[in-house]
């Protein structure tokens, strides 16, 4: 149940932030926070990561849906097993983020991204992207160092 709450929390937090950004920020308007290290701005990503396949939204939705379904299937298989804490956490973070971005794609036709970093200003993220990145890193870490 703990891991399901984590996934739902990521989804809800990102949903609320996206709704706030959509309602309160103009496209192209920037707001710098944390001494300019983080830049808040609204961006509609119609493609995949780094706007890949922007002109092929149906392919992105299909791939996202299939991968999300596979994540849920694997998560369902491991959730009740003892141990595997980092794997379960990684899966929960990835599922929460993937669910939020997939919801955006299905409901709006694009994913709302809303912050970038000073050093890489051209790449705009959302909480789900960071959650997917951390979750995938944990899954890869566990898979790499898994006892045989």
Residues catalogued as catalytic? 113, 129
- Contact criterion met (CB below 8 Å) for 71 and 141: no
For residue 99, give the nearest of 123, 75, 124 by alpha carbon: 75
DSSP string, 30-99: -EEETTTTEEEEEEEE-SSGGGTTTT-HHHHHHHHHHHHHHHHHHHHHHTTSSS-HHHHHHHHHHHHHHH
- Contact criterion met (CB below 8 Å) for 126 and 17: yes
Query: The tokens of 99 are what?
Result: 């669910």
- What is the DSSP code (8-state) at residue 118? T
- Contact criterion met (CB below 8 Å) for 6 and 92: yes
């Amino acid at each position: 149940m703990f891991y399901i709450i984590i996934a739902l929390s990521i989804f809800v937090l990102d949903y609320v932030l996206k709704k706030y950004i959509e309602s309160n920020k103009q496209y192209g308007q920037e707001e710098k926070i944390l001494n300019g290290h983080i830049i808040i701005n609204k961006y509609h990503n119609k493609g995949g990561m780094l706007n890949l396949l922007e002109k092929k939204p149906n392919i992105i939705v299909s791939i996202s849906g299939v991968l999300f379904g596979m994540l849920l299937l694997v998560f369902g298989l491991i959730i009740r097993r003892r141990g595997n804490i980092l794997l379960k956490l990684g899966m929960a973070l990835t599922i929460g983020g993937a669910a939020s971005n997939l919801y955006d794609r299905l409901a709006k036709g694009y994913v709302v991204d809303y912050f970038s970093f000073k050093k890489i200003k051209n790449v705009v993220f959302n909480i789900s992207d960071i959650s997917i990145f951390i979750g995938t890193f944990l899954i890869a870490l566990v898979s790499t160092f898994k006892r045989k």
